[in-house]
Structure 1
Amino acid sequence: MDNTMSKPNILFIMVDDHRYNAIRALGNTEVNTPNLDRLVREGTTLTHTYIMGSTSPAVCMPSRAMLLTGRSLFHAMTDEPINPYPIAEHVKMLPELFREAGYQTFGTGKWHNPRSNFARSFAGGGSIFFGGMSDHDAVPVFDYDPDGIYPDDKKYTAEKFSTELFGDEAIGFLQQQDGQQPFFLYTAFTAPHDPRTPPAEFAYDPDQITLPENFLPEHPFDNGEMRIRDEVLAPFPRTPDVIRQHIADYYGMITHLDAKVGQLLQTLDDQGLAENTLVVYTGDHGLAVGQHGLMGKQNLYDHSTRVPLILRGPGIPANQRHDALCYLYDLFPTLCELTDQPIPPTNEGNSLVSLIKGEKTTHRSSIFSVYQATRHIDAPGKYQRMVREGDYKLIAYAVDGNHRVQLFDLKNDPLEMHDLASDPAQQDRIAHLRQVLAAWQQEVDDPALQLTS
């Protein structure tokens, strides 16, 4: 008997711009997410999952590369100065690994990495979007190309809203499964990324939206990215009415997405696949949407660097939450371990299985994140670096030769509203966190060191 037949399936749901706490079951009572709430009840949630950041304003690109390779930011992609950055040929990608292990791999939705990397990963697919963003009702897509070329003259504009388009493609794949071969289904929605145009039946009344406690009309200082594309989606200074409308549209996109997730889960039930399918729900990064006077994700506050991470299925305890610090790319070895796949030597992630099973309560002692500063492109004199150790978080900024830091006590100030950097009592802590950050930068060969040496 083929031993792959007993392996659990994987339904991997990746979304775009979904902030870690924009789920009702995780504390946000203004957004309706009944199906994600169901996943939280039936699975395990890692509530403090961070991305390691980005060397590009398109944060989704390196974030997805880290997830796909299980490698840290400066090792996930090659140094070639092209966009999107390629993933090296010798580095195994997650779906590629499962494909080689006998899984039927199928990809639909957003792939913001090179087309050749998609071709290595998937034996099938449909409604494939190579790019960062598009209008949700006019997505340029490809059918699956068995030759892996995806020439531009084969691209066409889909006729469905993106969430319906990609979700229906995944549902169609699930309906064809007979249980004879395990599958790895990668469903990458572009929602809730802008342009945020939810269907009318999912619209929220902006007058019923509560303004975030950390709303500001403008960011208190120049962080180096004050006028990037995401930041000019709303006028300056930000006003309460404008931000409430943006949040209403954001929630509408999430609730529409949640409905499609519910259909995917129902299809698993209808096909008799749910019991042997690992479901993963996560995002590539968060989003500010008015917090700290910002709109986008080109910053290192928690609203932009933390993502939802929910797992459900065989071997996953129900209705459990863990607040241990972890990276999104820790999912790579986690899924390998949960499916008895060998972890490739290129992996740099730490499996979450012991944490998920309750065998330990901590995972990483510190977390780091990055924005900007590369060896080749983007404004080299403007970058941000972050370290979190325990409850304290330091963000360091460099903007055209000017340097400053912020310090937050996240236990008492989870919305990062009270900067402690000028507190004399915190100077030893700041010095220590600077040392921790500098040591990590040396360890990972951070390009920013070249700019300060």
Structure 2
Amino acid sequence: MKRKNILFIMADQMAAPMLPIYGPSPIKLPNLSRLAEQGVVFDAAYCNSPLCAPSRFTLVSGQLPSKIGAYDNAADFPADVPTYAHYLRRLGYRTALSGKMHFCGPDQLHGYEERLTSDIYPADYGWAVNWDEPDVRPSWYHNMSSVLQAGPCVRTNQLDFDEEVVFKAQQYLFDHIREDGDQPFCLTVSMTHPHDPYTIPKTFWDMYDDKDIPLPQTPGQTELDPHSQRLLKVYDLWDKPLPVDKIRDARRAYFGACSYIDSNVGKLLQTLEDTGLMDDTIIVFSGDHGDMLGEKGLWYKMHWFEMAARVPLLISAPGQFASGRVGAAVSTADLLPTLVELAGGTLEPGLPLDGRSLVPHLQRQGGHDEVFGEYMAEGTISPLMMIRRGPWKFIYSEDDPCLLFDVRNDPKELEDLSQSAEHQSLYADFLTEARAKWDIPVIHQQVLASQRRRRFVAHALTLGKLKSWDHQPLVDASQQYMRNHIDLDDLERKARYPQPCQNQ
């Protein structure tokens, strides 16, 4: 049987609870909504670490952050960690990445045969967290300028990036259909919107009115848990009230950026239609984490609350799986075994893996209902872990009070049940399980050792001659467009799709 192509589309910092595919929302996503209607939507999909690099390393490898050293946004991603790209290459797939994956370290491919663009984020160790100085706020940490400067724009760094990402992805699909042979592809298209800064061109800004923008629920800062309070200090919001109009502007720009992502999804879907690839392509849409967007007074990600940790996830393979919804808790760590199974492969015995295939869910044959998460980056002073199972979410720390929520009946997580008398048995069971699963003192020392190594190396590499690890996409201009060593008629015929008959 011919293996299906795979188009995996990623958004960055797209909060699932805000999206219309998950509930009432003013956000306009016509293309994703249509894709959701014909696909399988996962209503409780989570990242495994609510920060870009750790989440993405876990997503591509199917292993939890502590297993692979994915501690923060400057964590080295070892080249010997198998990814879904390695697996699919072994199955005969062409593997390509267009866009962001925030790989840190000298290996910038990790199994992808080619990267069509550079990354938008640096590949070095410059953003390492420092637990040795927990009260020092590094200059590169998030601050509130993204909110205070929110509004419409003409052009940004992120627009430059995403325009290139989508253009190169479309070109890849056109090139695929114009080449001989029937080798399947796995193309990952990873955009950087709707990640802050909260600004978007007027076309998308004007899709919304101020009156359409709901304002967040913001309790007093002193009512928040200790980790939340540290986050407010990390991004310089402690004891500094935000103007209501800027909160509204930030959310309006974010909504517009979600619509911009949807517009780009539409371009990719149209390219699949135009090239006749749609029926032979499995489409996966997901993200790396969410955004608090002012809920609980918090912004960005870096916590285990629903807005920061829940991600969109839908898989569309018409004719292969009936459309529908899955309520069980799953995570992006589950994508590697899922993609391998969808590609007709098997997992390599003896290799570590934390993710579990979603195919039983796609086939309506049950499946797991459990997510483990690990966070050791900005705002932490020690590991902050999470267990999500059934209706429950347990947030575990040995340095902060643990939190317990019934997210099914309390989706906004307004009531912490950790001190509730009727939940003490459940709380004790979760605590026992968490302590059995994670050896916090050992993990803490591993994180500290990694941070210290990377800070030392990062400083040394700033001295003398710079050798960048950032991916440099190679373009051979001698093979582009019209060149005298290529027959003109032959070139024009091969570049045209559909190709004209040769006798015309």
Q: Paired residue for 2:175?
A: 176
Q: Distance in 1 between matches of 2:238 and 2:40?
A: 36
Aligned to 2:210: 206
Give the match's secondary structure for 2:78.
coil
Cα contact 1:14–1:186 (8 A) shared by 2: yes
Residue 420 of structure 2 is aligned with which of 420, 423, 431?
423
Distance (Å, rounded) in 2 between the aligned partners of 1:438 and 1:86:
26
Residues 383-421 of structure 1: CA deviation (Å, up to 9, x unaligned): 43322332122224555xxx3232222222111012223
Q: Which residue of 1 aligns with 2:230?
A: 225
Aligned to 1:150: none
Shift of the 21–438 alpha-carbon distance from structure 1 to 2, 3 Å rule, reads same
Rounded Cα–Cα distance in structure 2 between residues aligned with 1:405 and 1:84 = 27
Task: Give how far 1:238 is off.
Answer: 4.2
Looking at structure 2, the residues matched to 92 and 130 of structure 1 have their Cα atoms a distance apart, in angstroms, of 23
Equivalent position of 2:94 in the other structure: 104
Aligned equivalent of 1:84, options 57, 74, 88: 74
1:192-203 equivalences in 2 (<5 Å): 192-203=194-205
What amino acid sits opposite 1:317 in the alignment?
F
Q: Distance in 2 between matches of 1:78 and 1:371?
A: 9
Normalised to the residue count of structure 2, the TM-score between the two structures is 0.74
Counterpart residue identity of residue 91, structure 1? V
- 1:30 is aligned to 26
Q: Corresponding residue for 1:215?
A: 218
Sort the Cα spacing of 1:411 and 1:254 in 2 relative to 1 into closer, same or farther, 3 A.
same
Letter in 2 for 1:226: L
Report which stretch shifted further, 233-242 or 99-108.
233-242
Does the CA-based 8 Å contact 1:44-1:312 persist in structure 2?
yes
* Separation of aligned partners in 2, 1:395 and 1:347: 22
Separation (CA, whole Å) in 2 of partners of 1:136 and 1:101:
44
Contact 1:103 1:182 in 2 (8 A): yes
Cα distance in 2 for partners of 1:233, 1:108 equals 35
Q: Are residues 104 and 137 of structure 1, via their aligned partners in 2, closer, same or farther at CA, if it must alter by over 3 Å?
A: farther
SS where residue 404 of structure 1 aligns?
Answer: coil
Give, as a single letter, the amino acid of the residue that structure 2 aligns with 1:207: K
- SS of corresponding position for 1:268: helix
Amino acid of the structure 1 residue aligned with 2:116: G
CA distance in 2 between partners of 1:353 and 1:446 (Å): 35
Structure 1 residues 405, 346: CA separation in 2 closer, same or farther (over 3 Å shift)?
closer
Match of 1:351 among 344, 357, 371: 357
Asked whether 1:312 is paired with 2:340, we answer: no
Residues 101 and 114 of structure 1: CA distance in aligned 2, closer, same or farther (over 3 Å): farther
TM-score by length of 1: 0.82
Deviation at 1:185, TM superposition (A): 0.8
Which AA in structure 1 matches 2:68? A
Matched residue, 1:405: 402
Aligned twin of 1:14: 10
Q: Tell me what 1:321 maps to.
A: 325
Cα deviations by residue, 1:283-306 (Å, 9 ceiling, x for unpaired): 001110111110021111111111
User: What residue in structure 2 maps to residue 49 of structure 1?
Assistant: 45
Q: Matched residues in 1 for 2:154 and 2:109: separation?
A: 24
Shift, 1:94, TM fit: 1.4
Unaligned regions of 5+ residues in structure 1, if any? 141-159
**Residues 73, 115 of structure 1: alpha-carbon distance in 2 compared, 3 angstrom cutoff:** closer
In 2, the alpha carbon distance for the partners of 1:92 and 1:103 equals: 15
Confirm or deny: 8 A CA contact 1:111 1:118 kept in the other structure.
Answer: no
Equivalent position to 2:298, from 289, 294, 301: 294
Q: Deviations over 1:222-260 (max 9, x none)?
A: 31633465x447983345433222111111100011001
Which residue of 2 is the match for residue 66 of structure 1? 58
Question: Please, which moves more after superposition, 59-68 or 343-352?
Answer: 343-352
**Structure 1's 122 and 428: CA in aligned 2 closer, same or farther, altered over 3 A?**
closer
1: distance between equivalents of 2:85 and 2:393? 34
- Give the aligned partner of residue 144 of structure 1: none
One-letter identity of the residue aligned with 2:192: T
- Aligned letter for 2:253? D
Q: Partner residue of 1:255?
A: 259
Alpha-carbon spacing, 1:418–1:44, altered in 2? closer, same or farther (3 Å): same
- Gaps of at least 5 residues in structure 2 are 123-141, 147-152, 448-504
Tell whether 2:101 aligns with 1:121: no
Residue number in structure 1 paired with 2:130: none
What SS does the aligned partner of 1:411 have?
coil
* Residues 379 and 416 of structure 1, relative CA distance in 2, 3 Å threshold: closer
Report sequence identity in percent.
30
Q: For 2:446 and 2:356, how far apart are their aligned partners in 1?
A: 28
Mapped partners of 1:162, 1:87: distance in 2: 23
- State the alpha-carbon separation in 1 of the partners of residues 242 and 83 from structure 2: 41
Aligned to 1:395: 395
* Aligned residue identity for 1:346: P
Distance 1:245 1:251, change over 3 A: same
- Measured after TM superposition, the shift of residue 118 of structure 1 is 3.0
Q: 1:35 to 1:396 in 2, by over 3 A?
A: same
Contact 2:49 2:373 in 1 (8 A): yes
Does the CA contact (< 8 Å) of 2:289 and 2:311 recur in 1? yes
Q: Name the counterpart of 2:270.
A: 266
Q: Give the superposition deviation at 1:439.
A: 1.7
| Partner Cα distance (2:222, 2:210) in 1 | 23
What is the CA deviation profile of residues 69-100 of structure 1, one whole-angstrom value per residue up to 9, with x for unaligned ones?
A: 11122113478xx9632333332211232233
What do the CA deviations read for 1:410-444 (whole angstroms, capped 9, x no partner)? 222111012223322222222122112212214x9
Aligned partners of 1:380, 1:50: CA distance in 2, in Å? 20
Note closer, same or farther for the CA distance 1:371–1:130 as it changes in structure 2 (3 Å cut).
same
Q: Provide the rounded CA distance (Å) in 2 between the counterparts of 1:438 and 1:317.
A: 39
Q: Could you tell me whether the CA contact under 8 Å between 1:53 and 1:305 is conserved in 2?
A: yes
Give the secondary structure class of the aligned counterpart of 1:198: strand
What is the total number of aligned residue pairs between the two structures? 410
* Alpha-carbon separation, structure 2, partners of 1:421 and 1:91: 37
Paired residue for 1:363?
368
Corresponding residue number in structure 2 for 1:381: 381
